[in-house]
Amino acid sequence: MQIIDWVIVFLYFVFSFFIGFYFYKRASGSTEDFFLSGRKFPWYLAGLSMVATTFAADTPLAVTELVAKNGIAGNWLWWNMLIGGMLTVFFFSRLWRRANILTDVEFIELRYSGKLAAFLRGFKSIYLGVFMNVLIMGWVNLAMMKILLGMFPEYINADNVLFYVGIAMVITAIYSALSGLWGVAVTDAFQFILAMAGCIILAIIVVSEPQIGGISGLKEKLPDWSLKFIPAISSDKTETDISGILTLSLSSLLAFIGIQWWASWYPGAEPGGGGYVAQRMMSAKDEKNSLFATLFFQIAHYCIRPWPWIIVGLSVIILYPDLSSADKGLGFVKAMNDFLPAGLKGLLLAAFFAAYMSTIATHLNWGTSYFVNDFYKRFLLKGRSEKHYVVISRAATLVFMLLSILVTTQMDTISGVWAFVIECGAGLGLVLILRWFWWRINAVSEIFATITPFIIIAVIRLSGTEIEFPNSLYLIVPITTAVWLTATYLSKPDDEGTLGNFYKKVRPGGFGWRLFAKKYPEIKSDKGYGYLFLDWISGTVLVYMFLFGIGKYIFGEYTEATIYILIGITAGAVIYIDFKKRGWKELN
């Protein structure tokens, strides 16, 4: 790191501070201003903020590790989530905006009635907003610590690394507390552009090195398995075979593409939307901006973002063949240290801080929204002024920052946490989807769908049964579904007044609300779910085709790239024609 590198990093932090101070007044009016920007986001700002939040400091390292170990096909461990994400675009983005609530946890008492609904809302506000949120921030802190240790081994060690990460977190907490979601989202947009620019520059420089010899040299030096886009199918359990390619049994592949995306809750990829993705949808100007923001997020998340990381990951196979399996992700950091000149190294370090801070800023704001709106304001101190709640929100932001640092000190690693979280949420996803479209779903349904997977996992582990993820989904999902369906029919339906108010406000329509459509014929509810299903399929095809097309273009396989892109354009045309035919004015 030269002086120019440190100047770039310093200017990045100064600019982040400036944004926080600039949006201070906009965030001070009410909790809606602080947590939802007054519902004034245009689609591109809300969409960029979603993409930036899911671009954490450890994301390039995680993708590098997947690619270095399993080739490009290794990315199907997360590429499969597009199917559920595209479902959110067409079926849920408009409904979240229409609900006119502050958090997705508040939805519980909008949709359900009685003391169980109040209990569920209070429980989730603490479980998700405090417990899960602080753990996630602790993991992101740990990832940033590993990056700094890899970049500055002569200056930073295990004893002082948390101090440097803590400085970045304090800065993030200050501008988040000052500016609310406005500052978080605008900073997200700047941070995403900076982070992507840095990663693209690194990929270009690394692949141009003599050891690689450009894209043609990369292809010549790499084994064929590493360049395959689709996982191989074997009769064995999920494993990496001796040639390196990710091999899946047919049952494992079907678990990923046929079950996981709709059945399991996972932060940032919740079936039916939710979490900070729902927060951005609810902060959009209107339903049209909400839909466009979520569509842009899916395209940018899957088509644009991964390829620079994938190129670096493939290069790591050649440049650092002796890296252990556990250290392959750090090949990204080693490439930064070994090949970036002065100035660009500072840009990449700023890019990593940008990725880190965008994720932390969102989790601070999002977690605080749960605590203040769904616990403090709902159960502790009701009826206070909006300025009072904004002050509490700012204070809670700083408290959550301190809690996450405390949790980080107790962490060494979280091996397999993503698989465990998916298993713990298996079966809940169907309730999160159907609660919008079937009036009979109630708070009992969601409570049993939340608890049952934990019990099943405990039984599996204690019994010594050798059922591993993702095949465990075949056991957890049907049992959980049977339990919550039974509990639903054995419990009383929600109060008709609550259900009627929900129907009139959100206008979900469809077969599951036919009883209320007859009761309230004056309500113009949603129609055309067959067309939305077609849009969902077309949107999924669009993104996968552009994802593959861009990859083929990068590797110089222009004929295949053109075919993929043309199929993607055709799928996009289907969506455009449908919305033009049915009228964009429906998205008011």
Which pLDDT belongs to residue 339? 86
Higher local confidence (pLDDT), 10 or 269 = 10
Which pLDDT belongs to residue 417? 62
Which pLDDT belongs to residue 485? 95
Backbone dihedral angles phi then psi of residue 239, each to the nearest 5 degrees = -165, 170
Is 60 exceeded by the pLDDT of residue 588? no
Q: Is 424 left (phi over 0), alpha (psi -120 to 50) or beta?
A: alpha
CA 281 to chain centre: 13
What pLDDT, in 10s, does the model give residues 60-88? Answer: 888 888 888 888 888 887 888 898 889 99
- What number is the average pLDDT over the span 446-466? 87
Q: Select from 370, 503, 397 the least CA-distant residue to 102.
A: 370
Which pLDDT belongs to residue 287? 87
CA 314, CA 68: separation in Å to the nearest integer? 6
Q: Which helix (H) or strand (E) holds 587?
A: none
Residue 240 tokens read as: 């990496």
CA 78, CA 499: separation in Å to the nearest integer? 36
Contact 373, 405 (CB under 8 A): no
Mean pLDDT score of the chain: 85
Which pLDDT belongs to residue 114? 92
Using pLDDT thresholds of 50, 70 and 90, give the confidence band for residue 574: very high
Among 264-273, 278-287, 519-528, the least confident range: 264-273
What pLDDT, in 10s, does the model give residues 273-330? Answer: 888 888 888 898 888 889 999 999 999 999 888 999 999 989 988 888 887 766 777 8
Higher local confidence (pLDDT), 361 or 117 = 117
Q: Of the ranges 329-343, 403-417, 505-519, which is most confident? A: 505-519
Using pLDDT thresholds of 50, 70 and 90, give the confidence band for residue 411: low
Higher local confidence (pLDDT), 416 or 448 = 448
- What number is the average pLDDT over the span 81-108? 90
Cis bond before residue 470 (omega within 30° of 0)? yes
Using pLDDT thresholds of 50, 70 and 90, give the confidence band for residue 239: very low
Contact 33, 208 (CB under 8 A): no
Which pLDDT belongs to residue 242? 38
Q: Of the ranges 43-57, 73-87, 369-383, which is most confident? A: 369-383
Q: DSSP character for 239?
A: E
Residue 63 tokens read as: 């993708």
In sequence order, what DSSP letters do the residues of 139-177 get, joined into one string?
HHHHHHHHHHHHH-TTT--TTTHHHHHHHHHHHHHHHHH
Using pLDDT thresholds of 50, 70 and 90, give the confidence band for residue 206: very high
- What number is the average pLDDT over the span 382-411? 87
Give, in degrees to the nearest 5, the angle at Cα 418 between 454 and 231: 120
Higher local confidence (pLDDT), 368 or 15 = 368
Which pLDDT belongs to residue 587? 52
What pLDDT, in 10s, does the model give residues 321-349? Answer: 887 766 777 888 888 888 888 878 888 88
**How far apart, in Å, are the Cα atoms of 114 and each of 109, 120, 435, 476, 521?**
8, 10, 16, 29, 26
Q: DSSP character for 381?
A: S
Residue positions counted in the chain: 588
**pTM over the 0.75 mark:** yes
Which pLDDT belongs to residue 62? 81
CA 265, CA 274: separation in Å to the nearest integer? 9
Which pLDDT belongs to residue 158? 81
- What number is the average pLDDT over the span 157-186? 84
Per-position b or e across 555-580, b if 16+ CB within 10 A of its CB: bebeeebeebbebbeebbebbeebbe
Which pLDDT belongs to residue 73? 85
CA 244, CA 225: separation in Å to the nearest integer? 7
Q: By CB neighbour count within 10 A (0-12 exposed, 13-18 middle, 19+ buried), where does 490 fall?
A: exposed
Residue 360 tokens read as: 């932390």
- In the chain, the amino acid numbered 282 is M
- What number is the average pLDDT over the span 551-579? 93
Using pLDDT thresholds of 50, 70 and 90, give the confidence band for residue 33: confident
Using pLDDT thresholds of 50, 70 and 90, give the confidence band for residue 586: low
CA 77, CA 71: separation in Å to the nearest integer? 12
**How far apart, in Å, are the Cα atoms of 308 and each of 63, 198, 311, 490?**
10, 9, 5, 52
Residue 581 tokens read as: 């035919």
